[in-house]
Structure 1
Amino acid sequence: MESFVLNEQPLEGWSCNYTDALTPLRTLKENDIFLVCDALGNIPGNCRTTSMGLFCADTRYLSRMELRLNGQPPVLLSGTADAGYAATMRMTNSFEEGGLQPDSVGISRSIVLCGGVFEHIELTNYSSHPVDISLSLSFGADFADLFEVRGFHRARRGQSLRPGGELPADTIVLAYRGLDEQVMETRIHFNQLPDRIDGTSASWNFLLKPHQQVQVEYRMLLLREGESASYTPAPATFEQARATAQSAQQAWRQSVTQIHSNNDLFNQALERSTRDLFLLRILLPEGHSVAAGVPWFATLFGRDSIITASQTLLLEPAIARETLKLLAHFQGKADNPWRDEQPGKILHEIRRGELARCQEVPHTPYYGTVDATPLWLMLLAEYYAWTADIGLLRELWPNALAAMAWIDRQCDEQPGPLRGYLAYRRQSERGLANQGWKDSDDCIVHADGRRATGAIALCEVQGYVYASKVRLAQLAPLFGDEELAEVWYKQAQDLKERFNRDFWLNEQDYCALALDGEGRLVEGISSNPGHCLLTGILSRDHRQAVAERLTAPDLFSGWGIRTLHSLSPAFNPIGYHTGSVWPHDNSLVALGLRSVGAVSQMLEIGSVLFEVAQNQPLYRLPELFCGFTRDAQDSLLASYPVACSPQAWAAGSLFQILQAMVNLVPDAPGNCLRIIEPVLPSWLSSLELKNLRVGTSVLDLRFEVSGGSTSCRITNKRGNLRVIVEA
């Protein structure tokens, strides 16, 4: 590693009115690297923004990247980041200087992520006479931790560095030493020697003949302590990087279930979701999983990764396998209040940036989630039903026992009226106040809008516990433990009886959002009880009431089910969890509606989510959107200003909706697949699933609508799986 000296220059770009919400952005991701830039491919150097930059390992390795022609930014003609790992922009000049006419120079800019950043720039003189052109590329790096980018204030931070000796003439190095003494570098190598390197800017001067082209490329490596900060090896050239990234995406795309319908827009939305799931894959030294979302959540999460894996079992069961193993590796082993950790608990989030390394935040990993542990158990049972992977089940059974022991211990230790329910209360001073999927500070509210206080027992979490008890009771006999199976089953039935008594709002004929620390019902009408439908914890009468209530006008906006109903004093259609609409929340509710026979409501939710997707850039469902009422006078969908896009469980939502429609019930251990009363919406008349894997068998299915009913036939099968279609 080279020697460095302190750089006393102030960090660039810390005040500006530039906001992501008002600026068209491009987002690229490859494994653990992601880039958020403007439509030109630039990261403006004269302003600090909320999310723009090049990030790896929760660190912003670039806070400035600007291409200029003759000192001016180019004008965009067209551009795309459709591939996800790459962006291409066609641009031109708009100025008149030194005989250079406007729109006379073509600029083609291509950026690829693959273990680093690779850029190819091509300039073409389209005028009829020679022109003098100056091309410049300027870089800057604040090496801010992602928490800093999001607004975390540090009393002090590390030092910007500059190389202590002579650099090669084709290289720019940006460097920083953190408070943990680790040195991070952004190292840029140009394939064509610049005419001038001035600090962090490189420039080239060209005299181009009519229709002459010139090209410039560079390779950017991200380093920590002299080693690659990314877990993906970086190729040597731009073409190798593009070919490597493209080949990896194509190979994954061909290995998963192929889905095609008669509706081209639906096909494009599914294709986008499939590509996004590939892009969001993340490789850590400990294993593989899916990152939650870009830009804020490009790391391993417990709840998000589990739900995404469950949503996509129909598409690729390996996502669930990898996620189960990785989360088991990080399962809690000790009582650590700083990290909200207890033995057997599944993590919430892990970070690798400077703040985590310096223990300024508890994300090493952080365990402040109440639902990831029962959700992990549910996923383990679901994965086994799809695959009959007894090897993984046997490997993870000790983790399952530890997870269930954590649930039982937490339920037993709750005070007074919460005893027997799984509840949360923050331990870490830097942790989350609310620890369900709605984890913002203001989201758990009483009917009068007051925030619930004390320990909180969420309704859907009790449903998750019930489902995990029932499903693991079915697996315990595989390990010769019929007695444990009976205990879990009895505990589940007792929980169901108590839950339907303690959580029910008789006057509203609906399920309460939660019980608070005093055992009082939290009567806010929310989407949370919709998750209870899927788990089976609601009694017959109660599940029918919940199903009907979910699509009432105060909860259903016309674009989906709101997180909080519009009659609440706390309702805010722009609130993160207090009135907005989340695709994954709706897809879970839709699957629950299907499980209780509310088919028309399920199809309504599925149809509006598809409508949202087809009206989004790139047909991509966002993390969330606003909960304004849709009517004849106001039929436009309102975007949430800083929603993550892509977001894993949003990408998984359409596959979960599809599962709700075709209603596949796998029993791979029993070598059987049941398809129970499949139904397609009015906008689909045919649907094909190819390369669908259940156990060791692979099959192709075709669904068609005829005479108002949906039929299913097997068009190909490899293996001896029994397929039973129940019309």
Structure 2
Amino acid sequence: MTAGWEYEGGPPLVADAVTLVDGTTFCLSDAAGDIAPGTAAGLYVRDTRILSSWALEVDGHRIQPLAVLPGQDGFSAVHVARTPPPPGRADSPLLVLVDRRVGEGMCVQVTVRNLAARPTTCTVRVRVDADFADLFEVKEGVTRAAAVAVRAVRADGLWLQAPDRPRRALRVSGQGAYVGPDGLSWSLTLGPREQVCVGLEADAVIDGQPLSPSHRCGSAVHESWPAARMRSWRTSTASIGTADPGLAHTLERSVEDLGALQIADPDDPDVGVVAAGAPWYMALFGRDSLLTSLMALVLDQGLAVSTVRALAALQGTRTEPRSEEEPGKIPHETRHGPRARARDVGAYYGSVDATPLFVVAVGELVRFGLDEALLAELLPHVDRALDWMVNRGDRDGDGFVEYCRATPAGLLHQGWKDSFDAITFADGRPAEPPIALCEVQGYVYAAFRARSEMAAVLGDAAGARRWDERAARLREAFDARFWLPARGYLALGLDGAKRPIDALTSNAGHCLWSGIVLPERSGALAEQLVGARMFTGWGVRTLASDMAAYNPVSYHNGSVWPHDNALLAAGLMRYGHVDAAQRVAIGVLEAADAFDGRLPELFCGFDREEFATPVPYPTSCSPQAWASAAPLSLVRTLMRLEPAVPQGLVRIDPVVPWRYLPLEVADMPLAGTRVTIGVDPDGAHVGHLPPGIRIEGWSGGAPGAGP
């Protein structure tokens, strides 16, 4: 394990874990609402676990969970429970409702209801502990004793603080509570059929200043930034409707989760950017946030605009080996916990693909009609990113962008498959850096093409021609070095000795998405990607089943990732492999049904014929931003929707399977206005098209045949 930036599965979550998210605050608990010590559960605020143990007892007994009722907002839930039945009785006389809300802390309202016809008394006690562990310590499984030197009982509650983390503390308070060194308690008297409520709050204390919980139990006095952002976002984005109930539910969950995963831009608190996912990725990430916003463009372009602007503000300006910062480079992730403070590394730049994807995202925004003033603002950052790709990114001058970590504390592998064992040859041998990944060359190719289009928009014909020629040279060189004619697929990459890494992986699908693959190669590649070695029935595996490193219960060596499949399906469709693209899209969307509409970060790569439902990966993050955006991308792929506003057109040629019809995207932002695109058995119908924009690529025929 490297020094923390890498996530290779992390510690197992508690059984039936309940995850609540509000910006950079999240809580992991069990079905009763308790936080068990020694697990990954806890209340996390700004990358610090401020609660590592939380136990609710009634008359000295733990409550028995009955149900969890999640809120529609992502940051609240009600745990329905009962007290254990008295000896000799089958039923319990007391019902317990635990209403929990998170946001810069946690607010809990406990309601005890007497179900009996006679009065009763009880004692409610909440025991708390804190280890103030850095998020990385928890996800790496590094044990840390809850070494709290200060357990001060004060007039405003119980205070806990660790001697080695003086900048972080916890205050727990509750009206009318008895405050002791291990928690709070109340003595309650309940009449027949009566209920009594008590409330308590867990406040994170940063640099001596308590952060008041954003959501007060039973009160709507203070609306948190994420809640306000969610409300505003839902009213300003497109809506997607379909006749298929399963897809409709999946799309609704996707939109809810993307809203819940938005956090404030650290440099502009009024602007929202998408975090990568819960529980471990509640921060701005380069690759993840960019791909998520790209896949969600059919819903909202504002998210992509705010993401690229936030990343532009963090673009590298110096050479710093500890953080792997380099001039022009886009960061991999940002952090604010104790470890980041101690190492003075709030942003880490160990990603080879965030920088080209940044340019790709700006280019796609231009195709959707990005305002020229915003393009002018972003263009210097685009050119600095391109300069990094052409010079520092191409470490040896061979025309390909490689990675090799600058410090042993950095990530060994710096593409999207960044676990230590993710890049291997077909025979299982690990590839040694510097490594030029196939999909990264595709991203660079797409970035060159995007810059050419930007130049054309700005009237720079010579610049447009120059970047197109650079893209063409890269495409030709890529085919010569990465295509494996004897195998009929692309090499995963080139290792440090420039040998092709000959494993068959899903990365090649990204090359179809970017357009770097020569058209004459696409048929053979498509056949490999949806063949029995790769396609599970629920999606395409990350690694073919006959590769030596294959393991269907691995993080990157045989599992199925929804976002990976969304890009792969878009790539198949780009090259006209409609049946293959539909097959992948339907498989992933049917997997979403099995996960109650919420696609996880990944799931196991077993064949559908072996298991009737997709098998969850034990430490998969959920909700995960790019998994949440995957269904939106798949819908766009099936609609074959490609705006080209600078050329004055929108291309649409739907091949939506009949089961999803009619399908409509209403109020999709485009070129400063909103359009509505519907697809039914008679074809596509476009409403409210802005002046000067025409439809191309649709002849009015029925959608392509599909299951």
TM-score (structure 1 length as normaliser)? 0.90
Query: How far apart are residue 541 of structure 1 and its match?
Result: 1.1
Q: 1:338–1:429: 8 Å Cα contact kept in structure 2? A: no
User: What amino acid maps onto 2:25 in structure 1?
Assistant: I
Give the aligned partner of residue 306 of structure 2: 322
Q: 239-248 or 401-410, which moves further after superposition?
A: 239-248
User: What amino acid maps onto 2:291 in structure 1?
Assistant: I
Which of 668, 675, 679 aligns to 1:703? It is 679
Give the aligned partner of residue 192 of structure 2: 210
Q: 1:60–1:144: 8 Å Cα contact kept in structure 2? A: yes
Q: 1:534 to 1:147 in 2, by over 3 A?
A: same
Q: 1:623 to 1:494 in 2, by over 3 A?
A: same
CA distance in 2, matches of 1:354, 1:495: 43
Which of 30, 48, 67 aligns to 1:78? It is 67
1:239 aligns with 2:227: no
1:578 aligns with 2:567: no
Q: 1:453 to 1:647 in 2, by over 3 A?
A: same
Q: 1:118 to 1:580 in 2, by over 3 A?
A: same
Query: How far apart are residue 176 of structure 1 and its match?
Result: 2.7
Structure 1 residues 174-206: Cα deviation after superposition (integer angstroms, max 9, x where no partner): 223445xx4212222313x11x32213111112
Give the aligned partner of residue 9 of structure 1: none
Matches within 5 A, 1:585-664: 585-616=564-595, 618-631=596-609, 633-664=610-641
Query: How far apart are residue 470 of structure 1 and its match?
Result: 1.2
Q: 1:102 to 1:562 in 2, by over 3 A?
A: same
DSSP 3-state at the match of 1:223: strand
1:683 aligns with 2:675: no
CA distance in 2, matches of 1:74, 1:411: 56
Query: How far apart are residue 137 of structure 1 and its match?
Result: 1.1
Give the aligned partner of residue 4 of structure 2: none
Q: 1:100–1:131: 8 Å Cα contact kept in structure 2? A: no
Q: 2:130–2:146: 8 Å Cα contact kept in structure 1? A: no
Matches within 5 A, 1:154-553: 160-162=148-150, 167-168=154-155, 171-178=157-164, 182-191=166-175, 193-194=176-177, 196-228=178-210, 234=214, 238-240=218-220, 248-287=229-268, 288-359=272-343, 363-410=345-392, 412-414=394-396, 419-479=398-458, 481-553=460-532
Give the aligned partner of residue 13 of structure 1: none
Which of 13, 33, 36 aligns to 1:41? It is 33
Give the aligned partner of residue 6 of structure 2: none
Structure 1 residues 362-415: Cα deviation after superposition (integer angstroms, max 9, x where no partner): 742111110110010000000121133211110011111100000010355316
Which of 97, 100, 106 aligns to 2:95? It is 106
Which of 685, 692, 703 aligns to 1:713? It is 685
Q: 1:32–1:57: 8 Å Cα contact kept in structure 2? A: yes
Q: 20-29 or 690-699, which moves further after superposition?
A: 20-29
DSSP 3-state at the match of 1:79: strand
Percent of paired sites with the same residue: 34
Q: 2:48–2:338: 8 Å Cα contact kept in structure 1? A: yes
Q: 1:390 to 1:648 in 2, by over 3 A?
A: same
Give the aligned partner of residue 5 of structure 2: none
Structure 1 residues 243-275: Cα deviation after superposition (integer angstroms, max 9, x where no partner): 667665343222211111111121111100100
User: What amino acid maps onto 2:661 in structure 1?
Assistant: S
Q: 1:68–1:135: 8 Å Cα contact kept in structure 2? A: yes
Q: 1:372 to 1:159 in 2, by over 3 A?
A: same
User: What amino acid maps onto 2:675 in structure 1?
Assistant: L
CA distance in 2, matches of 1:383, 1:64: 45
DSSP 3-state at the match of 1:315: coil
User: What amino acid maps onto 2:121 in structure 1?
Assistant: D
Q: 2:495–2:501: 8 Å Cα contact kept in structure 1? A: yes
Give the aligned partner of residue 694 of structure 1: 670
User: What amino acid maps onto 2:207 in structure 1?
Assistant: E
User: What amino acid maps onto 2:698 in structure 1?
Assistant: E
Query: How far apart are residue 715 of structure 1 and its match?
Result: 4.7
CA distance in 1, matches of 2:415, 2:30: 34
Q: 1:560 to 1:203 in 2, by over 3 A?
A: same
Q: 1:94–1:103: 8 Å Cα contact kept in structure 2? A: yes
Q: 1:308–1:652: 8 Å Cα contact kept in structure 2? A: yes
Structure 1 residues 302-347: Cα deviation after superposition (integer angstroms, max 9, x where no partner): 0000000100010110110010001001101111111111100011
1:567 aligns with 2:515: no
Give the aligned partner of residue 16 of structure 2: 24
DSSP 3-state at the match of 1:630: coil
User: What amino acid maps onto 1:143 in structure 2?
Assistant: F
CA distance in 2, matches of 1:153, 1:116: 24
Which of 90, 94, 118 aligns to 2:84? It is 94
Structure 1 residues 83-121: Cα deviation after superposition (integer angstroms, max 9, x where no partner): 211011221112317x99832112111111233312111
CA distance in 1, matches of 2:691, 2:55: 55
Give the aligned partner of residue 7 of structure 1: none
CA distance in 2, matches of 1:52, 1:544: 47
Q: 1:560–1:581: 8 Å Cα contact kept in structure 2? A: yes
Matches within 5 A, 1:120-131: 120-131=109-120
Q: 1:263–1:683: 8 Å Cα contact kept in structure 2? A: yes
User: What amino acid maps onto 1:112 in structure 2?
Assistant: R
Query: How far apart are residue 685 of structure 1 and its match?
Result: 2.0
Give the aligned partner of residue 3 of structure 2: none
CA distance in 2, matches of 1:723, 1:177: 65
Q: 1:444 to 1:703 in 2, by over 3 A?
A: same
Q: 2:664–2:679: 8 Å Cα contact kept in structure 1? A: yes
CA distance in 2, matches of 1:292, 1:619: 18
Q: 1:59–1:145: 8 Å Cα contact kept in structure 2? A: yes
User: What amino acid maps onto 1:356 in structure 2?
Assistant: A
Q: Which structure 1 residue ranges, 5 or more long, are not aligned?
A: 1-17
TM-score (structure 2 length as normaliser)? 0.93
CA distance in 1, matches of 2:615, 2:559: 10
Query: How far apart are residue 227 of structure 1 and its match?
Result: 2.9
Give the aligned partner of residue 10 of structure 1: none
Q: 1:673–1:694: 8 Å Cα contact kept in structure 2? A: no
Q: 1:152 to 1:482 in 2, by over 3 A?
A: farther
Q: 384-393 or 302-311, which moves further after superposition?
A: 384-393
DSSP 3-state at the match of 2:358: helix
Q: 1:157 to 1:393 in 2, by over 3 A?
A: farther
Residues paired across the two proteins, number: 685
Q: Which structure 2 residue ranges, 5 or more long, are not aligned?
A: 1-9, 700-707
DSSP 3-state at the match of 1:683: helix
Q: 235-244 or 543-552, which moves further after superposition?
A: 235-244
Give the aligned partner of residue 7 of structure 2: none
CA distance in 2, matches of 1:177, 1:238: 35
